[in-house]
Chain A
């Protein structure tokens, strides 16, 4: 007969610069399942954690944005491989978080992994589709290429803890941006597990940073931070999103507005999110007479 074991309970941490710190403030909050059962204590990030995450994302920006698109695609595909290996864990966590049936949770995790693979494939095709060589009246070879915007703050969707998250994070990474993601306050566990995958998948430290905590406390800080170049307000409440949009204007952040409630994340996303956080650079190259 086996001895009874002590429970080994997990405390959910933040993910900043490739490390898993607790909140600098020492605060935490309780995360419950859809059925109201205790799941874990999660770190309650503070504005200083936001600052640290932005510093990490800024530091990682040059290397990630100048890596070859092919290399970025390979790294992202590796993430999908590791997601697949942990499929069972994610199904369990999505089920607990969203109160979904086993079948529905499995379908969501499968869709999330497939979407990650899909976006990984887009990494080295983006410039071909979004770039162009332009006919001009002069002795120039004129071409336009998409370049990453920089450091992007992302407010994760509230209704889909894994598929929604992957749908907003992966395209921004594929385009060469680094991100600071604010996970859904009530369902952060699949997001935290995703960071554990990212940490072991050759994604350089600081490319993805994850914060957990209340949106109304953290979104305004992220929106006002002048070193953040873009803001995806996918999961922000309308009032919060409007305020974030206003304060984001101080350094002319590129803003992506929230998605409508009840958005079906399983739908084919198209290339819209890939192209949301890129800047077009046009080059006039003299070709002589």
Chain B
């Protein structure tokens, strides 16, 4: 029996809690649910609450899993293939993006066993540069948009931002939700924006950034995740990386359970991207363990799970060398962007 018991109401069957709320509220389809702010708000309020202590305890327990030797090597290479190699600084230059793209194509130039990363994530004005530098590599170009990172702009400006990114060749768009509207209960507005952005994406994959560090509670994280998925998100993403706390394993657990429940009720698969503050191989492997234990090994692919990071890649490469040679790698052994 599938349950939402890990985090929420213990041993309550999924059908009884989420699914009945969902079916009751949606009656026929998703569009009718999100078209009515009242029904949407009632549905979100009806989602089971997250047991905060249980969730953090579970995350801490998973963090103690020991991943060593060949398993570690596999996990490191898997993590590399899931990275959205990111640069989101005001000081970004075309040259820096090209350097990053070269690294994304071939993270370990001396060893072609190492896979390329999943995507390179940049601001919209640098998408064309990244697109050109990555042509034929299989590495996707992701762009943040919608007045990232605060999202404080009119819908028209946000859509123009998305349009720019897509026109320049972005395969994936990372949008931010309007946290202010969400926190004041204006869920209809949040979902309308997501739907509008999804449309503007014109086929590009949409990742919806919840900025969990600003949502205050795990209950809100679960509600925001459902909201994003109902709005048509292809991925739900934890954080912009500009707010502390950024991504944590307990938050990732909440998201993973949300996408699992969503998939079970609606049959549509949504991915999870964790981002912000993931700097070491150990951090990355903890997330992989959480994915494996929550939604299963079939989610351990770049099309369903991503790690948004910049310095993480270098640590993964150093740890990989340590696994292969037995010697701890130096800080000069990897390129610095």
Show the binding face of A for B, using Cβ within 8 Å.
51, 54, 58, 221, 224-228, 247, 250-251
Contacts A221-B328, A226-B330 aside, 6 further interface pairs with beta carbons under 8 A come to A224-B327, A226-B332, A227-B328, A227-B329, A227-B330, A247-B327
Interface of B is mostly: loop
Question: Given the complex of chains A and B, what is the CA–CA distance between A54 and B332 in angstroms?
Answer: 14
Q: Which residues 308-327 in B have Cβ within 8 Å of A in the complex?
A: 326-327
Q: List 24 A-B contacts (CB under 8 A).
A: A51-B328, A54-B328, A58-B331, A221-B328, A224-B326, A224-B327, A224-B328, A225-B327, A225-B328, A225-B330, A226-B327, A226-B328, A226-B329, A226-B330, A226-B332, A226-B333, A227-B328, A227-B329, A227-B330, A227-B331, A228-B330, A247-B327, A250-B327, A251-B330
Chain B positions within 8 Å of A225 at CB level: 327-328, 330
Interface of A is mostly: helix
When C-beta atoms are compared, the residue in chain A nearest to B331 turns out to be A227
Interface centre among A58, A228, A247, A251 (most CB of B within 10 A): A251
When C-beta atoms are compared, the residue in chain A nearest to B329 turns out to be A226
From residue A202, how far is it (CB to closest CB) to chain B in Å? 26
When C-beta atoms are compared, the residue in chain A nearest to B322 turns out to be A51
From residue B113, how far is it (CB to closest CB) to chain A in Å? 20
Question: Given the complex of chains A and B, what is the CA–CA distance between A51 and B326 in angstroms?
Answer: 12
Show the binding face of B for A, using Cβ within 8 Å.
326-333
When C-beta atoms are compared, the residue in chain B nearest to A247 turns out to be B327
Question: Given the complex of chains A and B, what is the CA–CA distance between A250 and B329 in angstroms?
Answer: 11
When C-beta atoms are compared, the residue in chain B nearest to A226 turns out to be B330
From residue A226, how far is it (CB to closest CB) to chain B in Å? 3
Chain A positions within 8 Å of B333 at CB level: 226
Question: Given the complex of chains A and B, what is the CA–CA distance between A224 and B329 in angstroms?
Answer: 9
Chain B positions within 8 Å of A54 at CB level: 328
Question: Given the complex of chains A and B, what is the CA–CA distance between A226 and B332 in angstroms?
Answer: 9
Interface centre among A58, A226, A250 (most CB of B within 10 A): A226
From residue B281, how far is it (CB to closest CB) to chain A in Å? 13
From residue A63, how far is it (CB to closest CB) to chain B in Å? 15
Shortest Cβ-Cβ A-B pairs, 10 listed: A226-B330, A227-B330, A224-B327, A225-B328, A226-B329, A227-B331, A51-B328, A251-B330, A226-B327, A226-B333
From residue A223, how far is it (CB to closest CB) to chain B in Å? 10
Chain B positions within 8 Å of A221 at CB level: 328
When C-beta atoms are compared, the residue in chain B nearest to A48 turns out to be B328
Interface centre among B326, B331, B333 (most CB of A within 10 A): B331
When C-beta atoms are compared, the residue in chain B nearest to A225 turns out to be B328
Chain B positions within 8 Å of A227 at CB level: 328-331
Chain A positions within 8 Å of B328 at CB level: 51, 54, 221, 224-227
When C-beta atoms are compared, the residue in chain A nearest to B333 turns out to be A226
Chain A positions within 8 Å of B332 at CB level: 226
Chain A positions within 8 Å of B327 at CB level: 224-226, 247, 250
